[in-house]
Amino acid sequence: MTLTFYWYPKCGTCQKAKKWIENNDIKLNEIHIVDSPPTKEELKELIANSGLPIKKFFNTSGKKYRELGLKDKLLEADEDQKLEWLASDGMLIKRPITTDGKQVTVGFNEENFEQTWK
């Protein structure tokens, strides 16, 4: 199995997730989420496969999220607008996003990784 791993190398959570994946001998296709953020269509698929609401894909603790005032804007925005924001800047996306093309995890939770990727 090879996982697609959208990450930001300076992110501590991403580093922990990568270490877990490597320690479990899982192959990775690494994609720098800032240099190559997922497209609107890729995000649509990731969100659908994750079973999570689109809100969970926003990096709500990020500087960019606060600068753009998205906390309030998200309440009124439609899904298309939310996808536009996410696709426009990798720093707005919660990371890492890990997928095998069917299942998707957002962020890193060791127990969740155990259940999903082992």
Q: What is the DSSP track for the chain?
A: -EEEEEE-TT-HHHHHHHHHHHHTT-EEEEEETTTSPPPHHHHHHHHHHHTS-GGGGB-TTSHHHHHTTHHHHHHH--HHHHHHHHHH-GGGB-S-EEESSS-EEES--HHHHHHHH-
pLDDT of residue 7: 98
pLDDT of residue 63: 95
Locate 50 and state its tokens. Answer: 């994750």
pLDDT of residue 1: 85
- Give pLDDT tens digits along the chain (118 positions): 899 999 999 999 999 999 999 999 999 999 999 999 999 999 999 999 999 999 999 999 999 999 999 999 999 999 999 999 999 999 999 999 999 999 999 999 999 999 999 9
Quick check: pTM over 0.85? yes
2-117 has which fold? Glutaredoxin (3.40.30)
